[in-house]
Structure 1
Amino acid sequence: MRRISSLLVTAPLLASLAFHSIAPTARAEAYDAHPKLVVILVIDQFRGDMLERYRSEFKGRGFRLFLNDGAWFPDCYYNYANTKTAPGHATIGTGAYTDGHGINSNEWWDARTYDRPVSSVEDERYKLVDLPTGTSDSPGASPRNLLASTLGDELRLATEGRSQVWGVSLKDRAAILPPGHAANGAFWLDDGSGHFTTSTYYMEHLPAWATAFNSSDELTKAAEEAGIDAPVPFSSHLELTPAANHYELDFAQALITGEKLGQGKTTDLLTVSLSAHDLVGHRYGPDSEQEEKMVLGLDRDLDRFFSWLDKTVGLRNVWIALSADHGVAPVPAFASSLGMNAAIVDLAQLNEKANAELNRRFSPDKNLQYILPIPDLPYITLDRRVFESARISEKTAEEALSEALRKIVPTMQQKAVNGRVAPVPEVVGTYTRLQLASSETLPDTEMGRELAHSYSDHGNWYVMLMLAGYQMQDQHSTGTTHFSPWSYDRHVPLAFYGSAFKPGTYRGRVEPVDIAATFASLLGVNQPSASVGHVLTQAIQGAETVKSASREASADPTHKAGIDKR
C-alpha cells in the first residue's frame, strides 16, 4: 500500500518540480513587480494584414520589436459581429465579448428619455476636469456601463490597490474601457483645446504633470511636425497626421514619469489606444497613401517610445501586447472596381422607407416615427414608446422591421462600375434583440456564435442588420467603415513582447480575448469576471516543459491506475 501511495505522489511531484525549474520569467510574479510594467497597445482600426503589408519598410524597434523579437500571431480574429471601437476596447480589457461586458456599440439611444444617443461611457454624475473655459460642454464619463471586470481591475484587487492602472487615448471610450472600473485614472483628448482631460470619476483635478503637459509647447510642436498652422479642432487637423500618435505617446511618457510607473513593489499596467488611424481609415481607406504614412509614422513613434521605455524602466522589465479594436473594409468604390459586389446603402433613405412600411402595416392613416433617427449599423433602433402606446409587442415590432429591411435593401439603387452591371445590396440576415438574447434561435454555426456574442440589453428594442460582404452604410466618398462580422472587420494583429514570451510566429486562430487571459495567468491574478479567453501557452517561456511533465505524469499507467509495478 505504501508503494502505491508513493507512486501516486511521485508523478505530480515531478510535474511540480518541472514547473519550478522553468525560466523565472514565466512564473506569476506580479506581487514582486516582475514585470515592473505591462503595456497594452491598441491601434484603432488596424487590420491584421497591415503588419505583413508594410513589414519590409519598418525600421528600428517599432513594429519589428514584435515581429523579430516578440511572439506574433498573424491569425487573430474577433469572435463577434459588432466590430466597433467601444466593444473592441471593452473586449481587450475584459477578455469577454459583448454578451459578457455589455458594450455593443459606441453609443446608443438613452432609453430613459429617447431624446438623443448617449456615449457608451457617458455619465452625467461626473464632470470633465480642468478644461479651458468654453472648450467643451460634454458630460462626464465613467466605466459604469461595463458589466465585467478587466485585467486592470483584477490586478488592483489582487495587490490591494498597490498596483497602478491607467488608460490613455484620444477617445474617451478607448481610454476608459480597457483599464476598467478600479483604474487610478484615464485620460483622453478634448477636441476643442487639444488638451488631455479626465472626469471626476477618477479625480477632482489633473495631476501636476498633466497640467504641465497641457501648458507646454507639445501641441505647438505637434502642429509643426504635421506642417499645419492650427492644431485645433484636433480631429480636423492633427488627428489626420502621424503627429497625433507622436503627441499621444509623449503624453503616455509624461504619465509614466509623473506617476512613477514601474517603480513600485507590484506590477503596474498602462493601456494606450492610438486613435488617429481610425479617422484616416474612415476618410481615405486602408489602401490609401494617407494610411501608409500613418503606419510608417507610427512605426517611427513606437521605436522612439520603446527606446524611451528601455532607458527609463528597462525593456527587460516590461511586457507589451499589441492589438487593435477592429479591422476595416476596403473602400467600396475600389472593391467594386475590381469586380467585388461592393455596395453602399443610404441609411437615411433606408430608415425613411422602413418607417413607411411600418406605417402601412400598423397605422396606414398616420405617419408615425417607429424608427429612431441617426442609425448606425449593425443596429437599427426602434422607438419602443410608439409601439407600446399602440400595444404592439416587442416581438411583433422587431419582426416587422426585419421583414421591412429584407424587402427594402435589395431595391436601393447603385451605380455601375467599369461597364459591369450595378451591384445589388444584399441582406444576409436580420436578427432581433429577442433572437440575440435567446441564442437558441440563432443558427448553430460559427456565425451564430458571433451573433450571440454581440448581444446587449440597454433598454432599447433593435434589429441587427447584416449586409453582404463589402457592403456598408454611406460614407465619405473616399472612405470606408467597419461594423460587420466579415473577416476584414474582425482581423486584427496580436503580438507580445517581453521576457515571458518565446519569440516566433505562431499560426492558428486566436482571439483578442486571449490577451487578458494570458496576462492574468502570467501575473498570477484572477482572469476578469466574464473572461472567455485562452492562455496562449505556445508562446510562453517554459510552458512546454510544464505541459510535457504534466502529460508524462498523467500518461504513466501507474499514476493513472495506482498500479504497483513490482
Structure 2
Amino acid sequence: MHKKVAALLCLSLALAESPRSLAQAYQAKPKLAVILVIDQFRGDYLDRFRTSFTTPNGFNLFLKKGAYFNSCYYDYANLKTAPGHATIGTGSYTDGHGIGSNEWWDLSRSTDHPISSVEDERYRLTGTFDDLPVPPLPAVDPKAPRVGSSPFNLKATTIGDEVRLATNGESKLFGVSLKDRAAILPSGQTANAAFWIDQSTGRFVTSTYYMPQLPEWATKFNKGPRVAQAVKDAGLDDTTQFYAMVGRTPAANSYELAFAEALIDGEQLGQHPTTDVLTVSLSANDILGHQLGPDSDAEKEMVLALDRDLNTFFSDLDKKVGLANVLVAFTADHGVAPIVRESAKLGVQSASLDLEAFSDAINESLNKHFATTKKTKFFLSALELPNLALDPRAFEALHITEADAEAAVVDAIPAAIATVGPPPQPLNNPTTTPEGSRAYSETRIDAAPRLAFVRSRVDLAAGKIPDTEFGHLIQHSYTDHGGWYVTVFPTAYQMEYLNGIQTTHFSPWSYDRHVPLGFYGADIIPGYYRNKVAPVDIAATFAAILGVNAPSSSVGHILTQIIKDSK
C-alpha cells in the first residue's frame, strides 16, 4: 500500500513539474491570433466608461479576464490612421515603416491629386461592380478601371508577415476594415487578402494584388441581407453614401464584425496546422468622432454599443475556435483632441488655424522675398497638418533649390501665423455672476494660433532635431514620402480648421498619442497594469509568444510581465 501511495505521489509531482504546453505558431498554439484596432479610440475611454460595461466578452475580456495597460502612448508625432495601423502591424514607427500620412503628393505618379498611402495603379479593385446587385453612383462608369490598393509603400514586414514566413505560407493572414489603409497596412505584404468597403454601396471589395475576384463566401455576404440591415439599423431608408452615413453609427461596427465572422467561417481560420492571423480595424468611431468629438453623448453610445458587438463577436469565436485557442491584442491607431470650443470653455488656450489664410500669408511673403512678377502659389493643394506640401515646380521655375525653398517658408511662418489671429468674434461674451466674479456662459475667447515646432524636410532628414523626448517623437515621424514639405505643429489643443469636421488628430500631444492596450489569451497573465507601454510592443510580444521573428524594423519591447512562464 505504501509503495502505491509513494508511486502516486511521485507521479503527481512529475505532472506538477512538467512544462506547460508552449505556445508556438508552428503547432497552432494558439490556433488564431487577432489584432483588434478601434480607429480614434482614445486611451481614457475604457476607464471613463468602465462602470457601464456589462458584457463578459466585450471590453471586459481585456479589463477583467486579460491584461490591460491604461498608460499606452505612441512614441511618434504624426498621429493619423495610416501611420498608426502600419505601426501596430510592424512594431516600428514612420522612420521604420515609411508611412507618414494617409496620403501625400508624388508628382511622378500624379500631378492632380495626392497619392493614397495604399494606392497602387498597377492593380485594380475587384468586387466593386461585377459581383454586386446594387449599381454604383451614376457619375461612375461601371466599365471604367478602378485603381487598386496594395502594401507597396510599406517598407517593413508585419507580425502577420513573419508568421507566414515562419510557416512557409501555411498560416493564413487577412485584414478587414471599412478603410483600405486600415485593412492593408496592419496585415502586411504577404496577406492572403485585405478587405474593405466600397464607400457608396457598403459592399466589401479587395484588390487584384491579392486575388482576381472575391471568394465565394464574400460574394455571398455582399449579396445577402446584411448591407440592407446595416442601413436600417443606422436609421436610414436607403443611401448611396454608406461610408459617410452608415459609417458614423454603431451599425457600421456590427456590420464589419459580421463580415469578419463570415471571413473566419469562409477561410476556416483557426482550423489549420499552424497559427492563423486576422487584423480587424473598426472605423465607425473615427467617422463619428471627427464630427462630434470625444466628449459627446453619441461617443459614449458608440462605445457601449461596441461593447455589446464585441461580446457577440468573441462569444461566437469561442464557439467556433474556443477562446482558449485564441490570442488577442486590442489597441487604437490614435486618439483625438477635444473640440476646440469644449476645451476653450474650461480655459485651455485652444485655437483653430485657418490653413488657407495661413498659406496665403506665406505665399504673399514668398512672392515679395523672391520678387516674382506674379502671384505664384508655392503650395500644393489639399494642405494638411503637420506636413505642408510645397510645389517644387513653382520654386524650380525660379531656380530655387529644395533647401532654400523650405528655409524661406520656415522664415515666413512666424509673421504669417501672426496675421491669421483668433476668430473675429468669440462664440459667447463674458458675463458677471451675482458674486461679482467673471464667468463665461459657454466659452472663453478663442486664443490666437501658436506654433510649437517648425522644421524643413531637409533639416529633418539631416537629423537637425533637439535631442529631447519631444525631439525623439519628431524623429520617429520622419518620412521621405511627400516630396518637399515643411513640418508644422501648433501648440497643444490647437488644430487646423476643417469644414464640417469639428476635431481631428495629427499631433505629438498626449491626447493624440494615448490609446488603450489590452491582451487576452491562454499565455497571458490577467491584470491591470499601470506602467507606460507603446503599441509597438504588440508585434514584439506576439513574436515572442508565437516563437517567430519580430517584424523587420520592430523596435517594441516584449511585455514579459504579462506572459506566463512555460515551466
TM-score by length of 2: 0.90
**Residues in 2 aligned to 1:156 and 1:111: alpha-carbon distance in whole angstroms:** 35
**Residues in 2 aligned to 1:139 and 1:186: alpha-carbon distance in whole angstroms:** 15
- 1:130 Cα shift? 2.1
Report 1:256-405 matches (<5 A).
256-405=264-413
Aligned to 2:563: 540
Contact 1:111–1:458 (CA<8 Å) still a contact in 2?
Answer: no
Task: Tell me the SS of whatever aligns to 2:347.
Answer: coil
Task: Tell me the SS of whatever aligns to 2:82.
Answer: helix
- 1:235 Cα shift? 2.3
- 1:22 Cα shift? 5.1
Q: Pick from 236, 239, 242: which aligns with 2:244?
A: 236
Aligned to 2:226: 218
Question: Does residue 1:78 correspond to 2:102, yes or no?
Answer: no
**Residues in 1 aligned to 2:371 and 2:38: alpha-carbon distance in whole angstroms:** 47
Question: Does residue 1:492 correspond to 2:515, yes or no?
Answer: yes
**Residues in 2 aligned to 1:418 and 1:340: alpha-carbon distance in whole angstroms:** 17
Report 1:360-509 matches (<5 A).
360-414=368-422, 415-416=425-426, 418-419=429-430, 420-439=444-463, 441-458=464-481, 460-476=483-499, 479-509=502-532
Task: Tell me the SS of whatever aligns to 1:221.
Answer: helix
- 1:28 Cα shift? 4.1
- 1:479 Cα shift? 2.0
Report 1:138-149 matches (<5 A).
138-149=146-157
Contact 1:38–1:269 (CA<8 Å) still a contact in 2?
Answer: yes
Aligned to 2:86: 90
**Residues in 1 aligned to 2:538 and 2:64: alpha-carbon distance in whole angstroms:** 20
Task: Tell me the SS of whatever aligns to 2:238.
Answer: coil
Assess, with a 3 A threshold, how the Cα gap between structure 1 residues 418 and 327 changes in structure 2: closer, same or farther: farther
- 1:542 Cα shift? 1.5
Aligned to 1:157: 165
Contact 2:539–2:550 (CA<8 Å) still a contact in 1?
Answer: yes
**Residues in 2 aligned to 1:52 and 1:418: alpha-carbon distance in whole angstroms:** 35
More divergent stretch after superposition (38-47 vs 476-485): 476-485
Assess, with a 3 A threshold, how the Cα gap between structure 1 residues 182 and 477 changes in structure 2: closer, same or farther: closer
Assess, with a 3 A threshold, how the Cα gap between structure 1 residues 366 and 257 changes in structure 2: closer, same or farther: same
Task: Tell me the SS of whatever aligns to 2:54.
Answer: coil
- 1:407 Cα shift? 2.0
Deviations 1:138-177 (A, max 9, x none): 4110000000111111111100000000000000000000
Task: Tell me the SS of whatever aligns to 2:64.
Answer: helix
Q: Pick from 185, 189, 193: which aligns with 1:177?
A: 185
Aligned to 2:24: 29
Contact 2:136–2:201 (CA<8 Å) still a contact in 1?
Answer: no
Assess, with a 3 A threshold, how the Cα gap between structure 1 residues 22 and 430 changes in structure 2: closer, same or farther: farther
Contact 1:320–1:497 (CA<8 Å) still a contact in 2?
Answer: yes
Q: Pick from 184, 205, 209: which aligns with 1:197?
A: 205
Unaligned runs of 5+ in 1: 1-16, 546-566
Q: Pick from 25, 32, 42: which aligns with 2:37?
A: 42
Contact 2:361–2:419 (CA<8 Å) still a contact in 1?
Answer: no
Aligned to 2:127: 130
TM-score by length of 1: 0.90
**Residues in 1 aligned to 2:192 and 2:533: alpha-carbon distance in whole angstroms:** 30
Contact 1:411–1:425 (CA<8 Å) still a contact in 2?
Answer: no
**Residues in 1 aligned to 2:466 and 2:18: alpha-carbon distance in whole angstroms:** 47
Unaligned runs of 5+ in 2: 1-13, 130-134, 431-443
- 1:116 Cα shift? 1.2
Aligned to 1:14: none
Over the residues paired in the alignment, what is the CA RMSD in angstroms?
1.6
**Residues in 1 aligned to 2:328 and 2:69: alpha-carbon distance in whole angstroms:** 14
Partner amino acid for 1:82?
N
- 1:30 Cα shift? 0.5
**Residues in 2 aligned to 1:195 and 1:459: alpha-carbon distance in whole angstroms:** 31
Partner amino acid for 2:290?
H
Partner amino acid for 2:78?
N
Partner amino acid for 1:438?
A
